C-alpha cells in the first residue's frame, strides 16, 4: 500500500485520448484500490518533463523511449517502468498542398520540431541523404505542430499517425506522413514508444508504490482496450473540451498501439539504444539494461472475478 | 517467389472484421506483390479447419492456439507460423435477463459451445468449482452462439469480447461476459489467440511461399492498424453484407488485438501448453517448441519508402 498523500504523474503532453488508460484507471477507482491518490499533471512544454522527473519533483512521468535514454545520458536517474504506447508510427507530416512528397523535398522548406531530438533525427536523415543542412530551416514549435502548419509558420513537422496526422487532416485538408522509421531504415517506430518513467529514488525508497501504480494502470489499459467506447466517454468526462469527433477518431486510431501488458520490450530498447548511439546521443559503452525494468509490471492482469482455480499453478 | 497458381487460406470462421488484415493485403495487391494469388476460403463449421489443414488440402489456415496444439496431439502435422489476433478476451456470455451472474449460475442452464475444446474448458471449470456435471446441459451450437441465445436454444455460450458480446448486445440487449481466463486463473486469454497455421509439408517443400505469405499479411496488418477506416471500407467491399454499424463496432473493438508484427508469443504458447496438459489434451512430455515457428515472420516490416539509410546496420 502506498504511504503518501498525493502521488504525482506528469504527462508528456496535454491530456489527450492516448492517455485514456490512466484516466480510466483513475475514474474507475483502480488507483484508489491500490492505495494511491493520483494527481495527473499536464505539461505546457514536453521538453520540461525529463528534468522534472529526473530531479525527483514528481513521482512518475511519461516520455518517449529516445528521450528516456537521452535523459540518462545527461545523468538524470530516470528508469522506464512500463509502456503506455507501443511503437506509434511517427513521421514528418505536411499538407499535400505543400508540395512535399519525399524527404528530399525539405530543401527550401521550414521544418518544425518539438524539441532537441526531433531536430537531431531530421538533421541526421538530411546528412545521410546528402542534403545541405543550410538548405532547409528548422523551427522549434513545441507542443503545437499542427497549429504551426495551419498558421503557415512551418511547411512540415513531426507527429504521430494516430494523432497529429488526424488533426491535420481534420483541420486543414489532405496530408502526408513520411515515416521516420522507414526513412531511417529502423524497422520500427519504437524510438517513439511512450514509457512510464520514474526516478531511481522512488524505486529504491517506495517500490510498493511503483508496483501499485502499475497494477492500477494495467487495469486501466485492459479496460480501455476491452471497453473502448466506455473508456473514451470516461476520458471525455475528465476533459470535456476534447469531446468531439476529431478526438474520438484519435482515440480509435490509438487503440492498436496501447500496450495491454505494459511490458518494456527488450528488442525495442536494444534497437533504440543502437539508434541513439548512431545519433551520438549515447556513448558507445552505454548499457541499455540500466534504463528499464519489468520488475514492477504485474505478472497477471487483475481479474474482475474470483478464479475458480489457477490452472497454471 | 511463389510457384503455384492458387494459394489457399481457410479462415477459422466466416469472413468477419477481425480478418481485415488479410482482406486489406489482398485488395491492396500485397499478395500479388509477393507472387501469390490468394484464394480466401470460409468454413461453415470451425471444427473442420484443423483436419483440412492437417490433411494438406489447403496451404494455410487460421485457428486458435489451443486447437492448433490439440491438432498436433492428434497427430496432424500442423505448425503455427504467425499470429492474427493476440489474446482476444473470451468468456461465457449471456443476456442479463438469463439471471446468470457468476459461473455457478450455470446450474440448471443450457450452455452452448462451438466445438470439443470449449466444452472441455467449461466442464473442467465446473469440476473445479464442484458443480455436478449433470446439473447443466451442454449444447453444441457451432458457428452461431449468438443466434442460439437469441432463439432461446441456449442460456449462455462462449464468445469473444470484441465479437459475439457486441453482436449479443446489439441484437438482444444487455449482456454479461464471464471471462474464461479469469475463471481459470490463467492470467491471459492466449488460448484463444488466433494463429496462421500450415502443414509441415508446406514448410518443407515451399518455405518461400510461407515467407511470402507472411510478408504480404504483415503489410495488411500494418495497414489495418495504421489506417483503420480505410481498412474497414476495404473489408466491406469484399463482404458488403457486413457493412453496418454492428460490424464496424466489432472491427473497432478488434483493433487492440491485431498482432502488428505477427510474432508467435513464446510466453503464451508455454502457458497454453500447460493449460492443455491440465485439460488432458496433451501428454505431459509434449514439446511445445515443435508447434510454432517465427522463422518466416518478416524481420522488418515492409517500408513504403526507400530508406535513406539503415541506421541499425
* Tens of pLDDT, residues B41-92: 999 888 899 999 999 999 999 999 999 999 999 999 999 999 999 999 999 9
Over residues B96-100, the mean pLDDT reads: 96
Model confidence at B300: pLDDT above 90? no
Q: What is the pLDDT of residues A53-78, one digit of tens each?
A: 999 999 999 999 999 999 999 999 99
CA distance B194 to B255: 14
| Residue matched to cell numbers 478526438 | A247
Q: What is the pLDDT of residues A133-174, one digit of tens each?
A: 999 999 999 888 999 999 999 999 999 999 999 999 999 999
Of A304-308, B29-33, B111-115, the one with minimum mean pLDDT is A304-308
What pLDDT is stored for residue B2 in this prediction? 46
Give phi and psi for B177, each to the nearest 5.
Answer: -135, 120
Please report residues of A whose CB lies closer than 8 A to that of B260.
Answer: 86-87, 256
Q: Does A278 sit within 8 Å of B312, measured CB to CB?
A: yes
Tell me what the pLDDT averaged over chain B comes to: 93
Q: Does A305 sit within 8 Å of B102, measured CB to CB?
A: yes
Q: Does B188 sit within 8 Å of A301, measured CB to CB?
A: yes
Q: Does A307 touch chain B (CB under 8 A)?
A: yes
Give phi and psi for A231, each to the nearest 5.
Answer: -65, -40
Model confidence at A308: pLDDT above 60? yes
pTM: 0.92
Interface of A with B in 232-251 (CB under 8 A): none
**pLDDT band at A114; cut points 50, 70, 90:** confident
**pLDDT band at B190; cut points 50, 70, 90:** confident
Q: Does B258 sit within 8 Å of A256, measured CB to CB?
A: yes
CA distance A170 to A151: 15
Interface of B with A in 45-104 (CB under 8 A): 86-87, 89, 102-103
- C-alpha cell recorded at residue B129: 468449482
Over residues A121-130, the mean pLDDT reads: 93
Q: Does A274 sit within 8 Å of B103, measured CB to CB?
A: no
What pLDDT is stored for residue A2 in this prediction? 46
Q: Nearest Cβ partner of A256 from B256, B300, B308?
A: B256
**pLDDT band at B114; cut points 50, 70, 90:** confident
What percentage of residues in chain A have a pLDDT greater than 90?
85
Give phi and psi for B226, each to the nearest 5.
Answer: -95, -25
**Interface probe with A: pick from B309, B311, B313, most Cβ of A within 10 Å:** B311
Q: What is the 3-state secondary structure (H, E, C) of chain B?
A: CCCCCCEEEECCCCCCHHHHHHHHHHHCCHHHHCCCCEEEECCCCHHHHHHHHHCCCCCEEEEEHHHHHHHHHCCCCEEEEEEEECCCCEEEEEEHHHCCCCHHHHCCCEEEECCHHHHHHHHHHHHHCCCCCCCCEEEECCCCHHHHHHCCCCCEEEEECCCHHHHHHHHHCCEEEEEHHHHCCCCCCHHHCEEEEEEHHHHHHCHHHHHHHHHHHHHHHHHHHHCHHHHHHHHHHHCHHHCCHHHHHHHHHHHHHECCCCCCCHHHHHHHHHHHHHCCCCCCCCCHHHCECCCCCCCCCCCCCCCCCCCCC
Q: Does A260 sit within 8 Å of B255, measured CB to CB?
A: no
Over residues A293-308, the mean pLDDT reads: 87
Q: What is the pLDDT of residues B214-234, one digit of tens each?
A: 999 999 999 999 999 999 999
**Alpha carbon distances (Å) from B288 to A10, B66, B79, B271:** 43, 11, 11, 10
pLDDT, greater one: B5 or B257: B257
Model confidence at B4: pLDDT above 80? no
Model confidence at B33: pLDDT above 90? yes
Interface of A with B in 101-130 (CB under 8 A): 102-103, 124-125, 128-129
Q: Nearest Cβ partner of B311 from A89, A278, A312?
A: A278
Over residues B259-288, the mean pLDDT reads: 92
Q: Nearest Cβ partner of A308 from B183, B253, B255?
A: B183
From the CA of A76, how many Å to the nearest CA of chain B? 26
Cβ atoms within 10 Å of A233's Cβ, excluding its own: 15
**Interface probe with A: pick from B89, B192, B228, B312, most Cβ of A within 10 Å:** B312
**Interface probe with B: pick from A129, A191, A307, most Cβ of B within 10 Å:** A307
Q: Are the C-beta atoms of residues A141 and A95 closer than 8 Å to each other? A: no
Q: Does B225 sit within 8 Å of A256, measured CB to CB?
A: yes
Over residues B95-120, the mean pLDDT reads: 93
Model confidence at B1: pLDDT above 80? no
Please report residues of A whose CB lies closer than 8 A to that of B102.
Answer: 305
What pLDDT is stored for residue A4 in this prediction? 60
Q: Does B305 sit within 8 Å of A103, measured CB to CB?
A: yes
Please report residues of B whose CB lies closer than 8 A to that of A179.
Answer: 303-305
- Kind of pairing between the strands at B175-179 and B90-95: antiparallel
In the residue annotation, B67 being an active-site residue is answered as yes
What pLDDT is stored for residue A3 in this prediction? 52
Which residues are within 8 A (CB) of A132 and not within 5 positions of it... i.e. 6 or more apart? A107
Amino acid at each position: 500500500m502506498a504511504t503518501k498523500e498525493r502521488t504525482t504523474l506528469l504527462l508528456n503532453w496535454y491530456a489527450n485520448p492516448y492517455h485514456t488508460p490512466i484516466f480510466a484507471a483513475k475514474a474507475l477507482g483502480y488507483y484508489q484500490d491500490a492505495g494511491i491518490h493520483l494527481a495527473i499533471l499536464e505539461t505546457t512544454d514536453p521538453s520540461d518533463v525529463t528534468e522534472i522527473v529526473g530531479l525527483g519533483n514528481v513521482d512518475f512521468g511519461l516520455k518517449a523511449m529516445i528521450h528516456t535514454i537521452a535523459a540518462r545520458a545527461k545523468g538524470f536517474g530516470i528508469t522506464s517502468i512500463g509502456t503506455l504506447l507501443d511503437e506509434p508510427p511517427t513521421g514528418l507530416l505536411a499538407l499535400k498542398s505543400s508540395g512535399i512528397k519525399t524527404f528530399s523535398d525539405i530543401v527550401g522548406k521550414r521544418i518544425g520540431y518539438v524539441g532537441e531530438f526531433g531536430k537531431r533525427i531530421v538533421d541526421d536523415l538530411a546528412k545521410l541523404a546528402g542534403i545541405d543542412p543550410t538548405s532547409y530551416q528548422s523551427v522549434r514549435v513545441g507542443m503545437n505542430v499542427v497549429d504551426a502548419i495551419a498558421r503557415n509558420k512551418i511547411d512540415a513537422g513531426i507527429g504521430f499517425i494516430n494523432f497529429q496526422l488526424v488533426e491535420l487532416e481534420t483541420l486543414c485538408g489532405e496530408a502526408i506522413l513520411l515515416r521516420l522509421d522507414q526513412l531511417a531504415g529502423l524497422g520500427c517506430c519504437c524510438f517513439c514508444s511512450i514509457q512510464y518513467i520514474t526516478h531511481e529514488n522512488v524505486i529504491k525508497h517506495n517500490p510498493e508504490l511503483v508496483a501499485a501504480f502499475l497494477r492500477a494502470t494495467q487495469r486501466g489499459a485492459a479496460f480501455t482496450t476491452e471497453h473502448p467506447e466506455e473508456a473514451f466517454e470516461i476520458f471525455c468526462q475528465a476533459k470535456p473540451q476534447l469531446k468531439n469527433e476529431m478526438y474520438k477518431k484519435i482515440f480509435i486510431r490509438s487503440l492498436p498501439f496501447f500496450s495491454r501488458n505494459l511490458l518494456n520490450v527488450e528488442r525495442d530498447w536494444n534497437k533504440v539504444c543502437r539508434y541513439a548511439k548512431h545519433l551520438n546521443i549515447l556513448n558507445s559503452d552505454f548499457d541499455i539494461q540500466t534504463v528499464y525494468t519489468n520488475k514492477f509490471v504485474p505478472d497477471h492482469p487483475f481479474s474482475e472475478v474470483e478464479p475458480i482455480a489457477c490452472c497454471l499453478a
